[in-house]
Amino acid sequence: MFLIAAKTSRFKLLYKIAVATGMRQSELLGLKWGDVDWIQGTIKIQRQAQQVHGRGIVFLAPKTRAGIRKILLGKSVLEELQAHKEEQAAFKKTRVAKWQDNNLIFATSNGTPFSQSNLVRDYYKILEKSNLPRIRFHDLRHTSASLMINRGIPIIVVSKILGHSKPSVTLNIYAHCVSDLQYEAAKVMEEITTPIAFNIEKFQTYSQIANKKD
């Protein structure tokens, strides 16, 4: 529902990647075109765009080694990224004098990084116009993780995608999702461990036929 409501936003692709990958807001704003591997279909997270008092927006390394990671992207996301790249290249030609080339995937009309406040303002505006609950931007990350876990993606894989230091961190945060899957797990194990009902009448019939042949 949210992604449909965001179709007219200039951040629509950013929102789609946020839900598809669970990236943090600062990671999304720090993405550069060089992070995209078009052949492998991946994007590498290796920096964050952070607002630092007295310095403005600066690029910092992720807080942990696990935060530096590659995420495989879906076909539609890659296609939209390519279209966005072409649109940005065309726009740059009209802003040659003012464009500051930071090679950012998501940049202002001057090529500079977006501030988190501008992104959040747009995000809440979409929620309000669409009568959606006023959840935090960070909750898009939780939504992404919950969707992956509920679809049966192994915790260790989800943990790597989210950039958690270890799977136990993911388990602690999303334990409720794992609990929800216990019903499905019980059903699967019931099918595996319960012998197929044996039809005694058919067995007797087959035995009689075999005895006659003998």
Query: Cβ neighbours of residue 64 under 8 Å, at least 6 residues apart?
Result: 163, 165
Backbone angles phi, psi at 183, to 5 degrees: -60, -45
Domains of the chain by residue range:
2-134, 138-214
pLDDT in tens, the chain (214 residues): 899 999 999 999 999 999 999 999 999 999 999 999 999 999 999 999 998 888 889 999 998 999 999 999 999 999 999 999 999 999 999 988 889 999 999 999 999 999 999 999 999 999 999 999 999 999 999 999 999 998 889 999 999 999 999 999 998 998 888 777 777 777 777 788 876 555 555 545 545 555 555 4
Class of domain 2-134: mainly alpha
Its pTM stands at 0.84
Task: Give the tokens for residue 68.
Answer: 């530096």
